[in-house]
Structure 1
Amino acid sequence: MQSFWGHIAFNIAFVFVIVKARLSTQLRTLEEASLTLGADEIQTFLRVTIPLALPGIVAASLIAFTLSWDNFVKTVFTTGPGFQTLPLLIWSQAARGVVSPSLSALTTLMLLISFLLAYLYAKISTRRE
């Protein structure tokens, strides 16, 4: 299981639980109304189910994103030598004593991406309320 797929297999359980919880609280009557009003199953899925499940999908993807960057030990054990996440790259460079400006820029970029995603999620979730 030391591969890219091992890394995905570890995180997919968290994503599944979050999306399933969102779908279980979703009103089935909206889907039934869509079908009753003439939409086929694909249209209902694309126009009703996905938009209702989108907050759960976004939350699950943020959790998976955070787990991928946060859980260093899990990443070391579930990936092989040919697969390297950004935290592993930064750690391996720093462990060798190579602290270059590009490594510092990469670390700063990771933080900025995390803050940007959290900010966008907060803006989107407050706009829906």
Structure 2
Amino acid sequence: MPFVWAPIPFPDTNRIDMALTDKRRNWTPEEDVVLLTQVAADLPFAADKGQVTKSWQSLADKLVACDHFDRVVDGRKVQNMFTALVDEHRKFDMASAKLSGVDQEELEKHTLLDELLPLLDEVKS
């Protein structure tokens, strides 16, 4: 019986590319606002000692269930994103202080972070 070459089945590359794209895409400004709004409501960073991880996971579960949030996240991802937003906002505040007299656009994201930073600093101290 002669050997017959058969094509090797490859996975659907579109699905693989899509999965990688979904996994690695940047957060949108809308997702930032949804995250910050939920953080302002739950204050997961202010949870009792030993409950912080559970608090962030609870927040992540709420975000995943939210209609305005299309990203799949866990507690660690949302905590890391919140920390990145806080760091970015602190740099923004320092740069803004140097620009006295210049009108700057006040975004909802900045307003939420302005409210959250004092609470975060109070918990850390």
TM-score range for the pair, normalised by the shorter chain length: under 0.3
Structure with more relative contact order (C-alpha pairs < 8 Å, separation 6 or more): 1
Larger proportion of helix: 1
TM-score, normalising length: structure 2? 0.27
